[in-house]
Structure formats: C-alpha cells, structure tokens
Amino acid sequence: MEFGVVELSRLQFAATAMFHFLFVPLTLGLSVIVAIMETVYVMTDRPIWRQMTKFWGTLFGINFAIGVATGVTMEFQFGMNWAYYSHYVGDIFGAPLAIEGLMAFFLEATFVGLWFFGWEKLSKRQHLVVGWLVALGSNFSALWILIANGWMQFPVGAEFNPISMRMEMLNFFDVVFNPVAQAKFVHTVSAGYVTASVFVLGVSAWYLLRGRHVDLARRSIAVASAFGLASALSVVVLGDESGYSAGVNQKMKMAAIEAMWETEPAPASFTVFGWPDQQARETKWAIHVPYVMGIIGTRSLTQEIPGIYELEREAEARVRNGIIAYDLLMQMQDQRGTGVDPALVAQFREHGDDLGHALLLKRYLDDPRQATEAQIQQAAMDTVPTVWPIFWAFRIMAGLGFCFIATMAYFFWRASFRRMSFPRWSLRLGVIMIPAPWIAAEMGWIVAEYGRQPWTVAEVLPTALSVSHLSVAEVALTLCGFFLLYSALFVVEMGLMFKYIRKGPHEDVEYTRAWVERHEALLTAGAEVRK
C-alpha cells in the first residue's frame, strides 16, 4: 500500500477518532450511573450513596477531561484534513455539528465544572439537577454527532447544486429523522451504558476480591448490573435494528459483513465462521446457519439480499451513467457566468444521482469522460471494501454483545436474589471483562466506518477526493505529533485511573455525616443572610 496524502489522512482520522472513542462511551454511561447514585443519595439521605457518587464521579472527571481534549481535535479535523469534503457537504454536515455545540457541549461543559466545584454552593437537590444536566448534555452530544454520521452513511434530504458545486440541504427533518442515524444513536448510547456498567462492575469486583470497601462495591454492582443488563439487551436488539437499516440502505456494507459474494436465494444464511479471501472472492471454511441473515437483513423470508458480485455490476452501470452526469456538469460550468440553459439542468437531474460514481474515476484521471474501459471496471471494483476486517470486526462485536448480556444477567440475579453474594470466580471474571466493551466499541467503529469505504459520503463523494491539498510531509508530521501527544495522554490517564482506583473512596461514614451537618449549617446561614 502506498502512503499518499489520502492514506495518511485516513490513518490520522481513524487514529484520532478511535482514540477519542476510548473515552466517549465511558463518559456517556458513567454520567448516567453517577446521576442515578446521586438520586438515590438525595432520596434516602444515606451517606454511603454520597460516597459512591463522589468516588465514581472522580473517575468520571479524569475520563471526561481527556474526552473533551481529544474531542476538540475532531471538530477541527474536517476542515484541516478534509477540505474538499467540508466544502462539498458542509451545507448539510455542518449543521448537526453546530447544533451539537449549542445543545450538548454547552450543557455538559458548563455544568460539569459546577458539579465538581459546587458541592458547598448548592443545595442537595440543585446539585442533583446539575448532575443530570451533565448526563443529558453528554447524551445529546451523541445524538447530534450520530445524525451527522448517519448522513454520511445514508445521505437523505439533500441535492447537488451544479452552480455552487456542492450538496445542499433540501429538508432538515429528513436529515434529523434519518432512520440510520436514529438506529445508530440508540445502539451507540446503549453501548456506552454497557461500557460504564462493565467498568463499575469490574472495579467493584476487584474491591470485593480484596475485601475492601465492601458496602460501596456491593451497591455499585447492584446498580451496574441492573443498568447494564437493560443496556446490554438494548444494544443487541437495537444493533439488530441498525443491521436492518444497513440491509435496506447500505447493501454493500451488509454484503461485506456477511462476506456474501453471490446473491443467495431467500432467506439467506448467516456465516458464523469463515475466512473471506478477497483475491479468490470466496469465503473459505465457512460455517452457515440457515435463514438467520435473511431475517436480520430484510425482516422477511422471501426477500433476497444482493451479493457483492451483483452490487459491483450495478456499480459499473452507475459509473457509466455518472460519466454522462459529469459531462453535463462540465457543460454547465462553462455557462456559469452567462446563465445556465434550463434544458441542461433538467437533463442533469436525470443522471445526477450517479455523479458520485463518476467521481470514483478521479483517482485515476482528471477527467472522468476520458476513462478507459479498464478504468471503469476498476472504479466499479473499488466500491467493494476489503471484506475480512469488516467480517471479523462484526463477529467479535456481536459475540461480545452476547457475553455482556450473560454477565450482567448473572450479576443481576446474584445481586437481587442471592443477597449480593458473589462467588470468587465470578468476581475474577468481572475484573477480566473490563477491557471487553472497549474492544466491542472499537470493532463497531470499524464495521460502520471502514465498511463505508470507498466513500466518505455513501455514493456521493469518494474518500480519495475528499482530502485537503496538503503535502505528505505535513500530514506525516501531524500524524507523528498526534501519536506522541496521545500516547503520553494515554499513559497519564491510565496512571491516574489506576492510582484513584487503588486509593478507593476517600470518605468514611463519619466524614460524610460531619460534612452533611456543615453543609446544612452553611445553607441555613446562607438563607438567613438572604432574608
């Protein structure tokens, strides 16, 4: 593989996005878990729940800081490394990003500071509301970034404008209520909840194994397993929902997940195991389960799921049609100063949907109209992503999803019906499970984003065309820079996490009681001053 600007830019984006995504799921879930714990504290007034809130809150804070720091990069990288993308789809893609800032970032960032600094300045109830607002903000942020991402997967509600040479928004509500975006949102948010639940459960299990902070650890497991079980079920069920929308809207991604080269008669079988061979275009050693794929992908027993060959043939026809669209576009460009002939515009509307496929040829030559037969074939072949990473990433993710359900169900049962007694083997398992949700989340990212290749915006704009006009040296330099900076951050973050987990909660019951009295005295004094 040759490392040009396109490959380096992709590598940088993947590295920074996947690194950012190490912190996001935990933030999403932990914000809610901490808010739940604080709710119990406010309702019951029992000191242990305040200790839990503060302890998990500290870990949340360490994780939140680095999530925010790496998120800044994400907001600006589109313009830095993907300038043509930014120009071409900014009219649609920019809007959810800006709304994310208005609706989500301000909410979480403004209140997270108050949450940590405001224990003495706020009443108990006010402080609780602040905690829930932080959680709400984090979750809104996931909503809007996934609406933006959903549009890249399934670009609805927009149309190409030949004068401004870009996609422009036709219907805002189509963009917001994009079915792919909605399914992705619920799936991703639930995955975040599972991540935090496994984390809380694993750390608590470690305390129990050592016989430390037993009260805190048991209660934490009770909260985490209940919340985690509900979320793990929702991840898998709603993951199935995203599977369905991928089947309807992203056929090539679906075929790659399944490594399905030929169209199978309905209902298609599901390949549990196999080795996809891109060169030979077959899946070796495949083990099939009949019917399952057809049901996931189409919700029916009669509909066919198209295979990779068939989709590639369709793509070839679209490349040819796209060349006609490109030709019309060039004619319109010549008339831009003087006013475009409406007949030309009408003709363009007919072929315009395939313009993106003609742009695939830009990798090989400047003017797609001059493409040779071989180049057209090559462009059609480019629409097939490399199958094995997608095939395997999906299987690892889905397999782990079922493991989470089983683990959470077991702990929930012990917590609810066996008086919170946990056998040592299960506690060890809880500790070992800690990294698993991160692996699942990163695999999910690979399925969704690597599976979208060769497009940045599916069937609209190829990745190779989306990059900025930069030199290899520039991108290589920042890639190294990010690598060094992020590695250092990672070491620091992990060091602090381990330090604070080893240290455990810093309060005991006496301390908390004393604090509560002081706090109440302060509030009454404050109220009297105001009178």
Residues 413-442, interacting with another protein (CB under 8 A): none
Which residues, numbered 24-63, are part of the site for another protein (CB under 8 A)? 61-62
For another protein, which is the closer residue by CB, 87 or 281?
A: 87
Please identify which residue in 68, 209, 295, 523 interacts with another protein, judged by CB under 8 A: 68
Distance CA 322, CA 328 (A): 10
Question: Under the criterion CB under 8 A, does residue 83 sit at the interface with another protein?
Answer: yes
Distance CA 233, CA 436 (A): 16
For another protein, which is the closer residue by CB, 260 or 461?
A: 461
- Least gap, CB of 471 to another protein (angstroms): 6
Enumerate residues 6+ apart whose C-beta is below 8 A from 323: 358, 361, 368, 369, 371, 376
How many residues of this chain interact with another protein, rule: CB under 8 A? 79
Q: Is 2 helix (H, G, I), strand (E, B) or coil?
A: coil
- Least gap, CB of 370 to another protein (angstroms): 16
> What's the 3-state SS for 318-383?
HHHHHHHHHHHHHHHHHCCCCCCCHHHHHHHHHHHHHHHHHHHHHHCCCCHHHCCHHHHHHHHHHC
The CB density around residue 85, as the number of other CB atoms within 10 Å, is 21
Question: Under the criterion CB under 8 A, does residue 13 sit at the interface with another protein?
Answer: no
For another protein, which is the closer residue by CB, 81 or 234?
A: 81
Closest alpha carbon to 28 in 147, 197, 229 = 197
Q: Is 371 helix (H, G, I), strand (E, B) or coil?
A: coil
Please identify which residue in 333, 372, 487, 524 interacts with another protein, judged by CB under 8 A: 333
Which residues, numbered 188-227, are part of the site for another protein (CB under 8 A)? none
For another protein, which is the closer residue by CB, 100 or 459?
A: 100
Enumerate residues 6+ apart whose C-beta is below 8 A from 478: 12
For another protein, which is the closer residue by CB, 449 or 507?
A: 507
- Least gap, CB of 13 to another protein (angstroms): 14
Question: Under the criterion CB under 8 A, does residue 487 sit at the interface with another protein?
Answer: no
Please identify which residue in 35, 48, 92, 235 interacts with another protein, judged by CB under 8 A: 92
Please identify which residue in 14, 292, 295, 489 interacts with another protein, judged by CB under 8 A: 489
The DSSP annotation for 85-120 comes to HHHHHHHHHHHHHHHHIIIIIHHHHHHHHHHHH-TT
- Read off the tokens for 153: 């997967």
- Backbone conformation region of residue 459, classed left if phi is above 0, alpha if psi is from -120 to 50, else beta: left
Question: Under the criterion CB under 8 A, does residue 105 sit at the interface with another protein?
Answer: yes
For another protein, which is the closer residue by CB, 87 or 320?
A: 87
For another protein, which is the closer residue by CB, 84 or 291?
A: 84
- Indicate if the alpha-carbon torsion angle 244, 248, 249, 254 is positive or negative: positive
Q: By CB under 8 A, which span of 218-226, 313-321, 430-438, 481-489 interacts with another protein?
A: 481-489
For another protein, which is the closer residue by CB, 405 or 489?
A: 489
Q: Is 273 helix (H, G, I), strand (E, B) or coil?
A: strand
Q: By CB under 8 A, which span of 95-103, 199-207, 265-273, 389-397 interacts with another protein?
A: 95-103
- Least gap, CB of 138 to another protein (angstroms): 13
Max CA pair span of the chain: 86
Question: Under the criterion CB under 8 A, does residue 473 sit at the interface with another protein?
Answer: yes
For another protein, which is the closer residue by CB, 172 or 275?
A: 172
Which residues, numbered 132-171, are part of the site for another protein (CB under 8 A)? 161, 163-166, 168-171
> In Å, how far from its chain's centre is CA 220?
26
Element (H, E) at 345: helix 342-351
Which residues, numbered 336-395, are part of the site for another protein (CB under 8 A)? 336-337
For another protein, which is the closer residue by CB, 121 or 299?
A: 121
Please identify which residue in 27, 31, 53, 81 interacts with another protein, judged by CB under 8 A: 81
Please identify which residue in 70, 149, 242, 271 interacts with another protein, judged by CB under 8 A: 70
The DSSP annotation for 156-173 comes to -SEEEETTTTEEEES-HH
What distance, in Å, lies between the first and last C-alpha atoms of the chain? 74
Distance CA 387, CA 258 (A): 9
Question: Under the criterion CB under 8 A, does residue 114 sit at the interface with another protein?
Answer: yes
For another protein, which is the closer residue by CB, 225 or 478?
A: 478
Which residues pair with residue 270 across a beta bridge? 289
Question: Under the criterion CB under 8 A, does residue 94 sit at the interface with another protein?
Answer: yes
Distance CA 163, CA 183 (A): 34
User: How many Cα atoms are found within 13 Å in the side-chain-facing hemisphere of 5?
Assistant: 16
- Least gap, CB of 131 to another protein (angstroms): 14
For another protein, which is the closer residue by CB, 171 or 278?
A: 171
Q: By CB under 8 A, which span of 258-266, 374-382, 439-447, 473-481 interacts with another protein?
A: 473-481
Q: Is the peptide bond before 437 cis (omega within 30 degrees of 0)?
A: no
Please identify which residue in 101, 179, 389, 504 interacts with another protein, judged by CB under 8 A: 101
Distance CA 441, CA 192 (A): 8
Mode of pairing for the β-strands spanning 282-289 and 270-277: antiparallel
Which residues, numbered 493-522, are part of the site for another protein (CB under 8 A)? 496, 499-500, 506, 515
